[in-house]
A and B are shown apart, each in its own frame.
Chain A
Amino acid sequence: MPDSTLVGLHHEEQHHPELLHHFAEPQQQRDAASLGMWVFLATEVMFFGGLFCAYLIYRRWYFGDFGAASKTLNATLGATNTAVLICSSLTVVLAVWAAKTARRTLLLVSLGITLLLGLAFLGIKGVEYKDKFVEHHVPGASFSFDKVPLPGHPGQYANPRHAQIFFSLYFIMTGLHALHMIIGLGLFLWLLIMAWKGRFTPEYNTPVEIGGLYWHFVDIIWIYLFPLLYLIDRHP
Chain B
Amino acid sequence: MLNNFPLWPEQASTMAGHVDALYIFLLIVTGMMTLLIFTCLIFFAARFRHRPGVRAEQIEGSIPLEITWSVIPFIVFMVIFVWGAAVYFKERTPPSGAAEVYVVAKQWMWKLEHAEGQREINELHVPVGRDVKMIMTSQDVIHSFFVPAFRMKQDVLPGRYTVAWFRATKPGVYHLFCAEYCGTQHSGMVGSVVVMQPAQYEAWMNGGSTGPLSATGEKLFAELGCSTCHRADAQGRGPNLQGVFGKPVQLEDGRTVTADENYVRECILDPGGKRVKGFQPIMPTFQGLVSEEQLNALVAYIKSISADNSGAVGKTIKATAGTAAPSVQIQSSTQPKAQTNAQPNGSQVQ
Q: So, do A and B actually touch in the complex, CB under 8 Å?
A: yes
Chain B residues with CB under 8 A of A64:
253
Interface hub of A63, A156, A157 (most chain B Cβ within 10 A): A156
| Contact, CB under 8 Å: B270 / A159 | yes
Chain A residues whose CB sits within 8 angstroms of the CB of B253 once the complex forms:
63-64
Distance (whole angstroms) from the CB of A146 to the closest CB of chain B: 13
Q: Is B280 in contact with A155, judged by CB distance below 8 angstroms?
A: yes
When chains A and B are docked, how far (Å) is the Cα of A63 from the Cα of B274?
Answer: 11
What is the CA–CA distance of A172 and B280 in the complex, to the nearest angstrom? 35
CA separation between A235 and B247, bound complex, in Å? Answer: 36
Contact B270 A153 (CB under 8 A): no
* Interface SS majority for chain B: loop
Residues of chain A within 8 A (CB-CB) of B280 are 155
A155-B280, A155-B281, A159-B273 given; name 12 further pairs at CB < 8 Å: A62-B273, A63-B253, A64-B253, A150-B272, A153-B252, A153-B281, A156-B272, A156-B281, A157-B272, A157-B281, A159-B270, A159-B272
Chain A positions within 8 Å of B252 at CB level: 153
CB interface residues, B 192-206, toward A, < 8 Å: none
CA distance A156 to B253 in the complex (A): 13
Q: Is the interface of A mostly helix, strand, loop or mixed?
A: loop
User: How many interface contacts (CB-CB < 8 Å) are there between A and B?
Assistant: 15
Residues of chain B at the chain A interface (Cβ within 8 Å): 252-253, 270, 272-273, 280-281
Determine the distance from Cα of A153 to Cα of B272 in the docked complex, in whole angstroms. 10
CA distance A112 to B14 in the complex (A): 75
- Interface positions of A (Cβ within 8 A of B): 62-64, 150, 153, 155-157, 159
Q: Which residues of A contact B273 (CB under 8 A)?
A: 62, 159
7 nearest A-B pairs in the assembled complex, by CB-CB distance: A156-B281, A159-B272, A156-B272, A159-B270, A155-B281, A155-B280, A153-B281
In the complex, chain B residues whose CB is within 8 Å of the CB of A157: 272, 281
Residues of chain B with a CB closer than 8 A to A150's CB: 272
Task: Tell me the smallest distance from the CB of A112 to a CB of chain B, in Å.
Answer: 52
Complex Cα distance, B272 from A65, in Å, reads: 10
* Cα distance, A157 to B270, chains bound together (Å): 12
List 15 A-B pairs, Cβ < 8 Å. Answer: A62-B273, A63-B253, A64-B253, A150-B272, A153-B252, A153-B281, A155-B280, A155-B281, A156-B272, A156-B281, A157-B272, A157-B281, A159-B270, A159-B272, A159-B273
Q: Which B residues touch A62, using CB under 8 A?
A: 273
Give chain A nearest CB distance to B195 CB in angstroms.
Answer: 40
Bound-state Cα–Cα, A156 to B270, Å: 13
B254 to chain A, nearest CB (A): 11
Q: Which chain A residue shows the least CB distance to B252? A: A153
A71 to B281, CA, bound (A): 21
B84 CB, min distance to chain A CBs, angstroms? 28
The distance in angstroms between the C-alpha atoms of A225 and B307, with both chains bound, is: 49
The CA of A153 and the CA of B253, in the complex, are separated in Å by: 9
CA distance A150 to B281 in the complex (A): 11
From B252, B253, B270, B272, name the one whose CB has the most chain A CB atoms within 10 angstroms.
B272
* Residues of B with C-beta under 8 A to A63: 253
Report the separation of the CA atoms of residues A157 and B273 in the bound assembly, to the nearest whole angstrom: 11
Question: Which chain B residues lie closer than 8 Å to A155 at the CB level?
Answer: 280-281
Shortest CB-to-CB span from B97 to chain A, Å, is 32
Q: Which residue of A lies closest to B273 (CB)?
A: A159
User: Complex formed: what's the CA distance from A51 to B141 in Å?
Assistant: 23
Name the B residues within 8 Å of A156 (CB-CB).
Answer: 272, 281
